Structure 1
Amino acid sequence: MWSTESTNQIANISGYFEDAYSIFVTENGDIFIDNDIENGHRVERWLSKEDKFEIVMNVSASCYGLFVDINDTLYCSLQHHSKIVKTWLNDKSMIITVVVGESSPSDPSIKITFPCGIFVDDNFDLYVADSGNNRIQLFQLGDSTGKTVAGETSSNPTTALDCPTGIVLDANKYLFIADLMNNRIVGSGPYGFRCLIGCNGQGSESHQLSAPWSLAFDSYGNIFVTDRNNHRIQKFLYIENSCGKFKIFL
């Protein structure tokens, strides 16, 4: 672990992990980690105040996306089973419920394929990076029918995506997407979607990306990107222009 603006490591959290595809950090500092161990798949939580691990979810495959909502419900994106499952963290029995993808429906708005990143907003609406269908699906609370909010199949075509894997909503409900095969980060705004990072093609320069997998914001609006094929984490600074209306990442 590193502090903001520092290259000095402040902590080292060690454990037995294999093929950890995703992590999620809560506001209190707890860390949730996907752990694909030899004898099964599970999600573990590192308790920051106690400096120890505990198992919080046993699953049938790796979680390619993790999210904890404001009600302490843990969501897992099971890419290889094309479904999203959840469990309530205060229930020690760790009962798992399927949220999306329980069957194989003919309605394409319900079916998801190889889901990756997930995000749950304060209304408990679920956003899914439906990577196999090149789109972002919104499943509102209690509704199994998805609405395409980004991708060519949207009712209001927005931007073409190619295997989106990461997704984040900001406080204004603007959508930010790691567009894996297009090697870029795109974001929505008052005038629709636009490319933010990696807009000049794939590469290893500081302004370029190669297969970005996930993204996250800090409290200052800076964006962090898992730049997978370049084997690095990239930080892009948030800057407002002179009118204070547009976001620019450098």
Structure 2
Amino acid sequence: MGEYNNEGIVVAGGNGKGNQLNCPTFIFVDKEQSVYVSDFHNNRVMKWRTGAKAGTIVAGGNRGGRNLNQLSYPTGVIVNDLGQIYVADGGNDRVMRWCEGKEEGEIVVGGNGRGNQSNELYGPRGLSFDDEGNLYVADCCNHRIQKFEIILWMKFLLNKKSRNKNKIKEKI
């Protein structure tokens, strides 16, 4: 077996007040090596660019809650090729999409109350995309993985606040 360095380097958090994470849960590293962290007890997602000493809030951060500018115990986080940030909003039983720099996110899956119907989630956790752009959601407390086909609209529609413009259809 080869040798390896078993000493880690802090790349997010641990840099003093305001940069602390409170129960970091999931991470995602993009093509530019920026690190996205779901900060569970701070109800937000943070982004650290390579070499940054401070992170920036890219989703939530307005206390825990159900409003479109809030998250409640976020877990899974993933960023698509368009730079849109998808967050499993575990406490609200929904998946939200955030565009960096925007004050609010959009509900793309769930948000219809806790349940086990095909349009409901119960404690979503992990998220993943396949090569065709389908979103997979680990629906933890329903003991299932759901697959959703995300229909991407033109860029101007993605920036609208209206939930009705986000079309999602269940594929399976």
2:48 is equivalent to residue 139 of structure 1: yes
Q: Which has the higher helix share?
A: 2
**What is the distance in 2 between the residues matched to 1:201 and 1:139?**
32
Match of 1:200 among 108, 112, 116: 112
| Letter aligned with residue 142 of structure 1 | G
Q: Which has the higher contact order (CA 8 A, sep 6+)?
A: 2
Q: 2:161 maps to which residue?
A: none
Q: Give the counterpart of 2:26 among 117, 125, 138.
A: 117
Residue aligning to 2:145: 233
Bigger share in strand: 1
Gaps of 5+ in 1: 1-53, 55-90
Aligned match of 2:81: 171
Q: Which residue of 1 aligns with 2:7?
A: 96
Q: Which has the larger radius of gyration?
A: 1
Whether the 8 Å CA contact 2:79–2:86 is kept in 1: the answer is: yes
Residue 238 of structure 1: how far off its partner (Å): 2.5
Maintained 8 Å contact 1:152/1:158? no
Structure 2 gaps, min length 5:
159-165
For residue 205 of structure 1, report the CA deviation from its aligned partner: 0.3
Match of 1:80 in 2: none
The alignment-based identity, stated in percent, is 31
Q: CA deviation at 1:197?
A: 0.7
- Tell me the distance in 1 between the aligned counterparts of 2:13 and 2:48: 11
Q: CA deviation at 1:240?
A: 5.0
TM normalised by structure 1 equals: 0.56
How many residues align? The count is 156
What is the 5 A alignment of 1:1-250? Answer: 92-99=3-10, 100-102=12-14, 105=16, 107-108=17-18, 110-153=19-62, 159-189=69-99, 192-239=104-151, 248-250=167-169
- CA drift of 1:219 comes to 1.1
Q: Contact 2:134 / 2:147 at 8 angstroms: preserved in 1?
A: yes
Counterparts of 2:68 and 2:35, CA distance in 1: 19
Range 91-100 or range 168-177, more displaced? 91-100
Answer with 191-200 or 161-170: which moved more. 191-200
TM-score by length of 2: 0.79
Distance 2:41 2:113 in 1: 22
- Say if 1:152 and 1:93 are closer, same or farther in 2 by CA, change over 3 A: closer
1:152 counterpart letter in structure 2: G
